[in-house]
Every structure is written in structure tokens, then in C-alpha cells.
A and B are shown apart, each in its own frame.
Chain A
């Protein structure tokens, strides 16, 4: 067995990373196609504020972050649904509020900055058994949601107004998607870090959209690319002794670039210039 798999923390990293690598792009497919690529980033900053609250009071930082990011997801959806402001403005409002709260809490709580760094940039080797159970439960919830509400999710992504007129409960579907995204973001922070979790949600989807023929295939391919990015990134990180979060995201970027280039070459071969 390779050395990397003889270390229990690396095995846990591969399992946890694999789970996050699959579900983040699965939800990301719906977000990217709704032009909400920054949704994850906004929730990640709020989740960081939640972690900071937990660290300040020395009480369950992850659980506090989950609660805070769910609340932020609900507020975000309400703001978007009310048409009181454009979606990108609502995202900016939540993102900077989260960031400001975190900065204030960091200045108040001398000493926990090092712990917060682990959530900011990711520290996959600290993923423990309870984290894996939480990630497994979340993965099950995401899979059930996508399975049961596949038609509703696709229709409200295609066009929310058209979906409403077809009888789809768009607000409730959006809320379910937002809440699960909030939880996914929080649990993914240990793997890639709050600053990079958005990239793991978006890059595999962008790559998959280059290949996908149909919605189901796009979902499957984006999840597969997410898993590959995590596994390759973790391996490189271990053998080259570099930060896992960065290695994972750069691997996802590499896959996106490679697929885009390959697609361009194939398109040129199939459709030669008509001069």
C-alpha cells in the first residue's frame, strides 16, 4: 500500500475531501446556471464569522458556523425573492457583513487567529471522525434533495418565472438549495478553506459545462471532476508538501483549462474552417 494511505489522517482527508469534492459541484451546477457563482463565497465569509463567534466563546465553532450560514442563506433568499435589490448586491451585502463581523471578532479575541487560519485556508489533516460523519450525513441530504427535487431544481434554474407558472414551488426549492449550500460551505472549510470553497463549487461545473450533453450528465461529470480534483490535489499536496486547499483548487483549474483546450481542438477538427 502506498505510504500516503498508511496514514490515518490522510485516509480521513481523502474520504472527507471526496465527499466535499462530489457535493460542492453538484450544488454548484444549479448555482452557476442561476448566475449565483458568488453565493458560496458570501456564505463562506458568514460561516467564518460564525467560526470566530464559536472560537471567541470557546464553544463548538463548526456548529455555530453551520447555524449562522443557514440563517444567512435564508436572509439571502428572502432578499433575492423580495426584489428589493439585485442578486449581486444582496450577495455583496452578506459577504461584507460576514467579513466585517469576523474582523471585529478577531480583534477582540487575541489568540484564536491561528485556529481561524485553519478555516480560512483549510487544514484537511485536522478532519476527524465526527467531521466525516457530519460530511456523510450532509452528502446523503444533498443526494436526496437532488434526487427528489430534480425536476423542480432544473425548472427553477431554467427560468424561475416559467417554473412558477408551471406550478413549481420556486421559493421553497430555492430555500432548500440555499440551506444545503450553507451547510456544505461550512463543512468544506476544513478541506479547502473558506477562501477557496467557492472555487471547488464553481471550477468543476465550468469544466463540466464544456462537455455536458444534458443536465444529468453535467451533474455527474461535475461531481466526478470535483472528486478527481480533490484526490489529485491531496496527493500533490502530500508529496510536494504544499497547502492542500490551494493544490486542490489549482488541480480543478488545470482540469478546466485542459478540457477547454481539448474541446477547442476537437471543435476545430470536427468543423474545419469553411474558406
Chain B
């Protein structure tokens, strides 16, 4: 029996007001893929992620999540999202790291939620996986940018997600943190079969890690295996000559 792609874009066009952000986008992400979403600033990468999550509604075409139109999709426990930043990081949000990661365990209206204390085993595991166990009682606003990013990633680890979307998760993260993230993503994909879609500007690294690449600059410029992307494709995408330098993982 054929299995539905995890995510499908069918001729999707979307714009903010009169300006078109993405136009005529069509591609499908298969189960277990690690897709890197790359393109210059303002090319529509974040818009594509928002469309994939139903946070924006296409003006033309449609987006399918696990074979279902995203606006009608309700099995959100199968999806995790790591945004670039969140509202709470810009205000003095009174929640601890442990509390914020526990939010990911949401399963609908729960009259006992206000009484619940302590961390579940899944939350403890997620805290340890991202190296934030020691900071579990610290307020989220007291963390550095890199630590806040790790908290958002930990949320994605709490439930056995099937699709993980990350929007520039390594912005503000040091080299060690970046390597720790990619190692975590490799484990999630290889051991648990998680499908990953990652937006990044670090072209060299993501092409090394990803299995497929979506190159976008308002329109889809390339979609295929990461190893097939050439310097010429990237030069066409970014508008200037690009030399790919791959990082070694010895």
C-alpha cells in the first residue's frame, strides 16, 4: 500500500498584501527525509514553513500534511516546530525551563493542568538530551539565545514526533551547540525515523547533513538530492559565485 508523503506542496502561491512571497511551489517530502530549505534573505523560507504548519493559508494551491489538507489537520502530536524565536523571549515571561518544555505535552483541555507539578520522564529525558538539566528551574528569560534555542528543541523531543520543522535553529548558537544539534537530529532520524525540515543559512553544513534540498527564491529553484546541488545552482540562487566547503566530522 502506498504511503502518503509527510508534506506536500501543490502549486502553492502566497503573499503578504500585494507582494508575492512564494509562487507556484510544488514538492513532496517523503518519510525519513532530511530536507534543507535554503535561499537568500526574504526568499520565502519562513513563509514556506508557516504554510506547511497551517499558520498561513495559501492563496492558490494546497498544502497536505500526512495526506490531509493542513487547515483541517488535527493530529498535531505528530508534528514539532522549532521557530526562530518566540514572543516569550522578548518579555519577562515567568516560566521555568522545565515548565516551558512541559507545555509540549499538551493533549487538549485538562482541568488538572493548573495543579500539575514536577517533570514527566519524557521532559526529564528531553532536558538531558539538550544539556539543559541543570537549568531546569531557571526562568526562560534569564537564558542566553543559544540556551533558549535548546529549550525549543527540547520541546520537540518530548513527544515521539514524526515531522520536525526547524527555522534557523543554529542562529546565535556556538559551534559546540551546533554540532550537538546536528548530532541530535541525526539520532532522531536514524533511530526514530523522524522526517526533518530545516531552514538554514549555513549552506555548507546543511548540505552535508541533509538528504534533500529545497532551494527557493520566491519560486522553487531546485528540489532534489543534496549531493546533486552544484556550485552553479547555488550561484544562481544567491546571485553571486558560491564555493561549497564541507565541514569534516572525524
Interface residues of B in 64-107 (CB under 8 A from A): 74, 76-77, 79-81, 83, 86-88, 91-96, 99-100, 103-104, 106
Using an 8 Å CB-CB cutoff, how does the interface string of A75-101 with B read, 1 for contact, 0 for none? Answer: 000000000000000000000000000
Q: Is A154 an interface residue (CB 8 A)?
A: yes
Count, A-B residue pairs, CB within 8 A? 88
Given A147-B114, A213-B139, A215-B95, CB of A162 within 8 Å of CB of B81: yes
Given A150-B114, A152-B109, A159-B88, CB of A164 within 8 Å of CB of B53: yes
Kindly list chain B residues whose C-beta atoms are within 8 Å of the C-beta of A35: 87, 91
Q: Is B20 an interface residue (CB 8 A)?
A: no
Are the CB atoms of B94 and A209 closer together than 8 Å?
A: yes
- Checking B83, B88, B100, B106 against A167 with a beta-carbon cut-off of 8 angstroms, the contacting residue is B106
Are the CB atoms of A215 and B54 closer together than 8 Å?
A: no
Kindly list chain A residues whose C-beta atoms are within 8 Å of the C-beta of B74: 167
Are the CB atoms of B87 and A164 closer together than 8 Å?
A: no
Given A147-B114, A167-B76, A212-B94, CB of A162 within 8 Å of CB of B86: yes
Q: Is A114 an interface residue (CB 8 A)?
A: no
- Checking B86, B94, B106 against A151 with a beta-carbon cut-off of 8 angstroms, the contacting residue is B106
Bound CA span A33–B104, Å: 19
Q: Is B113 an interface residue (CB 8 A)?
A: yes
SS class, residues of chain B in contact with chain A: loop
- Checking A151, A152, A155, A167 against B77 with a beta-carbon cut-off of 8 angstroms, the contacting residue is A167
Are the CB atoms of B106 and A155 closer together than 8 Å?
A: yes
Given A166-B106, A215-B99, CB of A161 within 8 Å of CB of B55: yes
Interface residues of A in 153-204 (CB under 8 A from B): 154-155, 157-162, 164-168
Interface footprint category on B: 20 to 34
Are the CB atoms of B108 and A167 closer together than 8 Å?
A: yes
Are the CB atoms of B83 and A215 closer together than 8 Å?
A: no
Are the CB atoms of A34 and B79 closer together than 8 Å?
A: no
SS class, residues of chain A in contact with chain B: helix
Are the CB atoms of A147 and B111 closer together than 8 Å?
A: yes
Q: Is B110 an interface residue (CB 8 A)?
A: yes
Bound CA span A237–B249, Å: 72
Using an 8 Å CB-CB cutoff, how does the interface string of A225-261 with B read, 1 for contact, 0 for none? Answer: 0000000000000000000000000000000000000
Are the CB atoms of B88 and A166 closer together than 8 Å?
A: no
Kindly list chain B residues whose C-beta atoms are within 8 Å of the C-beta of A209: 92, 94
Given A167-B77, A214-B94, CB of A151 within 8 Å of CB of B99: no
Kindly list chain A residues whose C-beta atoms are within 8 Å of the C-beta of B80: 165
Given A158-B88, A158-B93, CB of A165 within 8 Å of CB of B114: no
Residue of A nearest to B111 (CB): A148
Are the CB atoms of A158 and B108 closer together than 8 Å?
A: no
| Distance between A78 CB and nearest chain B CB, rounded to angstroms | 15
Q: Is A149 an interface residue (CB 8 A)?
A: yes
Bound CA span A165–B70, Å: 11
Residue of B nearest to A206 (CB): B92
Residue of B nearest to A216 (CB): B114
Interface residues of A in 64-123 (CB under 8 A from B): none
Are the CB atoms of A213 and B76 closer together than 8 Å?
A: no
Are the CB atoms of B93 and A33 closer together than 8 Å?
A: yes
5 of the cross-chain contacts (CB-CB < 8 Å) are A150-B114, A151-B110, A162-B81, A165-B55, A166-B103
A contacts, CB < 8 Å to B: 32-35, 146-152, 154-155, 157-162, 164-168, 208-209, 212-218
